[in-house]
Structures are given as structure tokens and as C-alpha cells.
Chains A and B, each alone.
Chain A
């Protein structure tokens, strides 16, 4: 990617720009530093719901207008909410990118939160949640995540608890919107076929006059040092048993994050920028060999995510109902002990580094991805973290991986969850 330009507007909006002239398209992303991490008990799911409401119209554009405006220009348009952030994006023919700027500037200030629209979206989100509940994997994840955090808001799913979704009011949503969706709490990213100077001027024109909001309230909860291994077991209908082992993990800015990323690749194959870099490698990695090649599990995965606060490092497996569950669990945990006791081999390190390079190359064909990576990095760390990502992975030593394995993989640091098919 060409040079990345950053600047901050007087109202606090951070702007990140990268020219990419290969195709006549441009991608614009607006990121807010708000997600389920910023929610309190009784109000879980607020951020995701606010994201939905920002598609429901403003004073000048009624519900549905934004989607039509973007799509009739051939654009892609969507929003996502996760634990640390919320983002809205549009990718368009480059000469129409101004539309995305105008929409984002409009809904940063003027979203209506019409009470009727709030009610109709309440049932839509409950339906989204019920669709998730139909999947055993979701049900297990929700329980394991809740058991993993005694007080940190990472303990609830982004979509929120169902009873909260039934009770949250229009005013709760509007207050959340006013508190967090401000220029000083946002990052604008544009990548594509434009001149950076001209794009900076257009962004300033669209967003410069929006007044800053008050400093958003900090997240006060700090998850205490785990003291006890926890177990959760769900029973329900299903065609297989599902295992999820979650360890308290490391934040993106922890220096041990990079050894952890390599460790994940050794266990389950290289990936791009976690958790959004794509995956699919891993059949030559340790977990697949130990569990799938031996027939102990149908599939097995490791997942690591770059987050602001320590989140979860998770290992999951799908297991035949006839298979002895303890044996599967044991075999996975043995692989973790092996990481603590033996240095990983050079060829495994090399595979992790080369695989990561390939995954970044596959992903970088899309300018939407490039813009996403920039904004995501700024949310959970900074641009240098992204720029140096592959080099820092390449610098990871076998000793560092061992150290991180010892630091993380302690019994009191984990929750072992099973969904048992009845």
C-alpha cells in the first residue's frame, strides 16, 4: 500500500488516508470507539442496536434511503459492531465516494431514533438473536464467555441478553448515541483511487463543522486475576458435541501479543490480521494433526483476537457424540503443555510467517479490506502496529512462544465448556 497519511481535525476526528489507484474504486470507513465493552448490566446490546438505528434515517433521509443511495451507485454498504468498536463503511466507484462522506456526517449528528422505528428494530434484533440461538456453537460461546469474565463487559455477547433487548428504551439508545458517536471518538479511513490531499479536504468539509462531544466515559471494570478453573456444560439437541476452551488472553498492545499470534499459527495455521484476516490454513498445524487426523474430532480451531483489554484465546472442536469427551479435552490440553515445554521447530515458525504473508496478500486484493485493516488497527492499537505486524511476527523466537504459553495456559486461567447433544 502507498504511504498512509493521518491527520486530526480540530473537532478531534482522526483521519487516515491511503491512495490506491489500481482500480477506480474507493472505500470509506467511519469507526467509533464504542462496542459491547462500553455497556453496563441491564443495557447490554446497546451499541449493536445503535448501529442498526443509524440505518433507520435522519432528518433529511428517511428509513431505507441510505441503502438505496449507495446501492444505486453500485456500492457496498454495511455496518459492524464488536466488543471494542463499531464501524460503518461504503465502497463505491471512486467518483461517488462523496456520498459515503455525506451519509456518515449526516448520521453522526442527525439520526432520528424514531420511537416506532426503535420498536420495529427491537423485534428485528430479537429475531437476529433467536437465529443465533438456533446454533449450538452460539449457545456454548455465550455461556463460556459469561463464565470467563467476573466483571468485565467482555462477558456478554455483542448482541446483548434477551431480557435487556426487551427492556431497553428509545432514550437509553439515544443517550448512548449522544455519548459515543462523536467526532472526537471516531476515526475516518479512506482508501482508493483519489488524491490524499483532495480527500482530506473533502472529509474536513463534511465533518469539520460537527461539534465535538464530551469525553466518553472510560470503561472502569478491570477483570481480576482469574483464581479458579471454571466449567460449563450445556445439554441440548444436536448432531454433535461441541467443545470450547477459553483462556484469558492478551490485549493487542501487550508485547506478548505477537508471540501469541505465532503460537496460534503453530496450533491452527497462519491467518491474516486477527480476527479479520481470513483463515483456512491449518491442516498441517498441530491441532489438526492431533485431533482431526486421528479421528478424535471432526474439526478443531484456535482463535485469537486483537482487542483493547485482555479478551479470550479460544480452542474449539466438533466431536462425534460417541467419542469420549475427556479424551478430546485431554489431547488438546496436551498440545498446550507441549508448547510450554518444548520450543517450536524452525519450520513451524517459517510456515507461520510465510502463511501470514500469503493471507495478507489474498486479503489485500480488496480495498475494502485494506481500509478495514487500517481502521481496525487504529481502534485496538495504532497504525505502526499494523505496519510492523508481519515484521514483528517474523521476529518472534521459540523462547517467546514458550514464555507466552506458560503465561496463558494455566488451569485457573481457563473455562472449559461443552455442548452435549442429548
Chain B
């Protein structure tokens, strides 16, 4: 049975955090997964990387327990808890056996309510982050993806990634910056927390209130605006040279949609046909299966509160970059030119709807859906309507969204790999 308003129990904590609980006594575990407002869009131009730095530092010690003590407590029962920065959110989570739920929740809540941001951990984190960023500069996949992002989002757009600015930002971070950003830019009010697993719902809401209700940032004013949709007026291309590599990674794409865009379902179907169904949709079939050019070739879109991207990616031998890009563009030209086959559409609709039970098999699978539904305002009965919405997408819808978002003659292309032989 799909989670719905019949089975999801909701509440609201006194700090304004909205709660969704879904009981699953088939499992022995409990997962807590939540978002507060916050995230990287709140960073100033000199503060790139601060939200991520903060998320790491929240896990590095509280006023009563240092990093070691937190780890000791969690791992003595095989539990996890942690924090991560999104673009609009500060994510928090805990995962444990049901018998240890109270402890996992307590450790997570204590870290959120009374973080210590110890100086020595700050320096270690800084050093680790700088090296991780340096590693990314040597990763063709990461560099292709960053270069693509920069082609799509202009310099002042909050979704723009910038590895140099992030390194500079990370070098600059002081403890006071963490404290200020946390108090002023992270707010539980209006955020959501989802609990899935072998726990009773009503009791869980009471436990959450005890653990998290006191987490308040009364002076916080996180940016809750929706970033604008970038405009791509012409084809832009960027090549990033990464020395000593065997393969080039390619990302080609366009500005995409936000999560609550009415086109979401049609884009989901269109993307599955283009680059997902089977072994990477039409793209995988052409680039991998027929041409033998790449081990991976697919398309994907990400949809946040603001517009994400819709992109095609593949990894190929440096000598085959042009051939692969041509093949990508040919498939894009085809999907914007002619309606998809009836059979293709039916296959993809069966795939997207039929695979839902498998995607909801585990507590983390269920929690992922519930968190997205709660955060993006999709409603508790989103999954009940899923099948009919996907089945309701027509060939005309697919053609329309393809023509709206995908353009074979106007795209952003990024390639990261070894220098060409002639260079």
C-alpha cells in the first residue's frame, strides 16, 4: 500500500518544524530525514562553501560532547546521524535500529541545538575541504559538471558553482562566520522532518517535540526566494584540460525546470525515453549499444525549488568526443522533431509506474519520497496520483516539453579531459 494521507501522520513542533511520520513495522530500523531552511543560496559572494562547512561542523561536537564522544555514542549502537547542505536547505538525518531511536534522535538534536564549532575541528575541516576541492580539480567528471553549470548559470546566479571562489571562501571561514550564518540563515520554522520505520506515530511526534522543539533561531531570516530561470541564448562550449587522464567526460544540456513545475511529469517521461529507459534510453542505445563509444551515456534532470538543468552526459575516449557530441545532438534533434513511438511511451510509463513499489521497499526509499513531497508541497497523496499522472502524459506532451527545453542548435557543452593530441 502506498503511503498517503491515510497512513502518514502529521504534526507540527512548537518551533514550526512540520512533521510527517510513516510507520513501517516490517523493518527493524528508524530513519529521520529533514530539511531546515538554509543552504548555499544564503552565502554572500565572499562566503562560498560556508553552508557546507557549517553542515560538517555541526557534526564535530556539542557543548557537552566532543567529536569523539558523539562518535562513540552513535557507533556503540551502530547508528548514523549527520548534516548536509543543499542549495536551499540544511539537511539533517539519523538512522538506527528501532531500539536505539531515542539515542540517535538525541545526538542529532543536540548537535543542532547546541553545536560547539570547536576551533581545532574547524582547522581540520578547512584543511580537508581544501584538499577535497583540489581532488575535484583532477576529476574529469567533476570538472565537466562544474564547467557545464557555469555555462548555464551566470556569475550572480545562486546556483552557480565556482571551485576557485569556494576555495577562497573556505580559506576565509572563521568560527564567528559559522555561528552567525547558523543563527541568521538557518531556520527550522517552515522546515520539515520525516520519520519512517518501526515506531508509533503519535509517540514519535511527542519524542520529536521533546528532542527538537527547543531548536529555535528566532533571528533567522533565510532567503526563501526562488532563483530565476537562466536563459541560454546561444551555444556555448567550454573545454577543461585535465592532465594525465584516459577518458574525456562530456556534459551537454540546457536550463531545466523547478520541482513543482507543471511540466514535471512530462519531463520525467521525456527524459526516460531520451536517456534512461533500458540501458540509457535512446542515447544509451545509440552511443553505447550501437556505436560502442561509451560505457555510460544517459540524460538526467534535477529540479529544485528553482530551475535545475536538463543534461546529457557520457564518458568517451578523447578521440571520440566529437562523434559522441554529434550523436547526442542527433538524438536531441529527433526527439524535438517527431513524436515518440506509442510503444516507447507505453514502455516508459509502465517502467516509471511499475517500479514505484521497488523504490519504496526500504525506509530510506520511503523517506526520500516523503521528504520531497513535504518540502516541495506536493501533498500527502502525491503517490496515489502518481500512476494516473504518468499514464496521462501524452505523445504531444512529450513533444511539447522536448521543444520547450531541449534545443539541438542552442546548448551548453562542457568537456573535461586530457589535452587533444594536436594541442
Indicate if the CB atoms of B131 and A283 lie closer than 8 Å.
no
> A71-B350, A124-B294 given. 13 additional CB < 8 A pairs?
A23-B26, A55-B279, A72-B350, A72-B354, A74-B354, A239-B133, A289-B68, A293-B68, A318-B131, A321-B131, A354-B76, A354-B78, A365-B27
- CB neighbours (8 Å) of B72 from chain A are 284
A287 to B356 Cα, complex, angstroms: 40
Which of these, B26, B244, B278, B288, contacts A124 with CB under 8 Å?
B288
Indicate if the CB atoms of A75 and B355 lie closer than 8 Å.
yes
Smallest beta-carbon distance B326→chain A, Å:
16
Q: Is B315 an interface residue (CB 8 A)?
A: yes
- CB neighbours (8 Å) of A281 from chain B are 75, 78, 80
- CB neighbours (8 Å) of B243 from chain A are 237
Which bucket holds chain B's interface residue count? 35 or more
- CB neighbours (8 Å) of B292 from chain A are 119-124
- CB neighbours (8 Å) of B140 from chain A are 134
- CB neighbours (8 Å) of A289 from chain B are 68
- CB neighbours (8 Å) of B135 from chain A are 238-240, 318
Q: Is B8 an interface residue (CB 8 A)?
A: no
Indicate if the CB atoms of A131 and B295 lie closer than 8 Å.
yes
Q: Is B96 an interface residue (CB 8 A)?
A: yes
Indicate if the CB atoms of A354 and B77 lie closer than 8 Å.
yes
- Which residues from 57 to 93 on chain B have a C-beta closer than 8 Å to any C-beta of chain A? 67-68, 71-72, 74-80
| B contacts, CB < 8 Å to A | 26-29, 67-68, 71-72, 74-80, 95-97, 100, 123-124, 127-128, 131-141, 242-247, 249, 277-279, 285, 288-296, 315-317, 346-347, 350-351, 353-358, 361-364
- CB neighbours (8 Å) of A285 from chain B are 75
Which residue of chain A lies nearest to B272 when distances are taken between CB atoms in the complex?
A71
Indicate if the CB atoms of A75 and B295 lie closer than 8 Å.
no
- CB neighbours (8 Å) of B362 from chain A are 365-366
Q: Is A25 an interface residue (CB 8 A)?
A: yes
Most buried by B among A126, A127, A282, A354: A127
- CB neighbours (8 Å) of B96 from chain A are 358
Indicate if the CB atoms of B295 and A124 lie closer than 8 Å.
yes
Which residue of chain B lies nearest to A288 when distances are taken between CB atoms in the complex?
B71
- CB neighbours (8 Å) of A236 from chain B are 244
Q: Is A347 an interface residue (CB 8 A)?
A: yes
- CB neighbours (8 Å) of B315 from chain A are 127, 130-131, 134
- Which residues from 2 to 24 on chain A have a C-beta closer than 8 Å to any C-beta of chain B? 22-24
- Which residues from 339 to 389 on chain A have a C-beta closer than 8 Å to any C-beta of chain B? 347, 350-351, 354-359, 361-362, 364-367
Indicate if the CB atoms of B78 and A355 lie closer than 8 Å.
yes
| Shortest 7 CB-CB contacts between residues of A and residues of B | A74-B354, A358-B78, A239-B134, A120-B292, A128-B295, A239-B135, A130-B246
Name 17 A/B residue pairs within 8 A (Cβ), A-sorted. A25-B361, A64-B278, A71-B351, A74-B350, A74-B353, A76-B355, A126-B317, A129-B246, A130-B315, A238-B138, A239-B135, A283-B74, A293-B67, A354-B77, A355-B78, A359-B78, A421-B138
Which of these, A130, A240, A364, contacts B247 with CB under 8 Å?
A130
- CB neighbours (8 Å) of B355 from chain A are 71, 74-76
For A54-65 the 0/1 string (1 means CB < 8 A from B) is 010000000110
A367 to B294 Cα, complex, angstroms: 31
- CB neighbours (8 Å) of B249 from chain A are 134
* A284-B291 contact in complex given A238-B135, A240-B135, C-beta closer than 8 Å: no
Which residue of chain B lies nearest to A119 when distances are taken between CB atoms in the complex?
B292
A358 to B76 Cα, complex, angstroms: 10
- CB neighbours (8 Å) of B244 from chain A are 236-237
Q: Is A91 an interface residue (CB 8 A)?
A: yes
A357 to B123 Cα, complex, angstroms: 35
Q: Is A73 an interface residue (CB 8 A)?
A: yes
- CB neighbours (8 Å) of A128 from chain B are 295
Indicate if the CB atoms of A64 and B294 lie closer than 8 Å.
no
A393 to B290 Cα, complex, angstroms: 49
Q: Is A125 an interface residue (CB 8 A)?
A: yes
For A62-99 the 0/1 string (1 means CB < 8 A from B) is 01100110011111100000000000000101000000
Which residue of chain A lies nearest to B76 when distances are taken between CB atoms in the complex?
A351
Which residue of chain A lies nearest to B132 when distances are taken between CB atoms in the complex?
A298
Smallest beta-carbon distance B288→chain A, Å:
6
- Number of interface residues, chain A, beta carbon within 8 A: 71
Which of these, B67, B79, B293, contacts A123 with CB under 8 Å?
B293
Indicate if the CB atoms of A134 and B139 lie closer than 8 Å.
yes
Which of these, A131, A135, A270, A295, contacts B78 with CB under 8 Å?
A270
- CB neighbours (8 Å) of B317 from chain A are 123, 126-127, 130
Most buried by A among B134, B242, B278: B278
Smallest beta-carbon distance A136→chain B, Å:
8
Q: Is A163 an interface residue (CB 8 A)?
A: no
A158 to B30 Cα, complex, angstroms: 37
- CB neighbours (8 Å) of B245 from chain A are 133-134
- CB neighbours (8 Å) of B67 from chain A are 293
- CB neighbours (8 Å) of A350 from chain B are 76
- CB neighbours (8 Å) of B26 from chain A are 22-23, 365
Indicate if the CB atoms of A320 and B127 lie closer than 8 Å.
yes
- CB neighbours (8 Å) of A218 from chain B are none
Most buried by A among B346, B350, B357: B357
Indicate if the CB atoms of A283 and B75 lie closer than 8 Å.
yes
Q: Is A224 an interface residue (CB 8 A)?
A: no
A359 to B28 Cα, complex, angstroms: 11
A24 to B357 Cα, complex, angstroms: 8
- CB neighbours (8 Å) of B291 from chain A are 120
- CB neighbours (8 Å) of B357 from chain A are 23-25, 74, 93
- CB neighbours (8 Å) of A126 from chain B are 317
Q: Is A417 an interface residue (CB 8 A)?
A: no
* A120-B351 contact in complex given A23-B361, A238-B138, A366-B361, C-beta closer than 8 Å: no
- CB neighbours (8 Å) of A284 from chain B are 68, 71-72, 74-76
A239 to B356 Cα, complex, angstroms: 40
Indicate if the CB atoms of A68 and B78 lie closer than 8 Å.
no
A134 to B249 Cα, complex, angstroms: 10
Which residue of chain A lies nearest to B295 when distances are taken between CB atoms in the complex?
A128
Indicate if the CB atoms of A320 and B78 lie closer than 8 Å.
no
Indicate if the CB atoms of B246 and A68 lie closer than 8 Å.
no
Which of these, A22, A71, A240, contacts B131 with CB under 8 Å?
A240
Indicate if the CB atoms of B95 and A74 lie closer than 8 Å.
no
Smallest beta-carbon distance A65→chain B, Å:
9
Indicate if the CB atoms of B131 and A239 lie closer than 8 Å.
yes
For A266-286 the 0/1 string (1 means CB < 8 A from B) is 000110000000001111110
Indicate if the CB atoms of B128 and A298 lie closer than 8 Å.
yes
Indicate if the CB atoms of B295 and A367 lie closer than 8 Å.
no
- CB neighbours (8 Å) of A120 from chain B are 289-292
Smallest beta-carbon distance A55→chain B, Å:
8
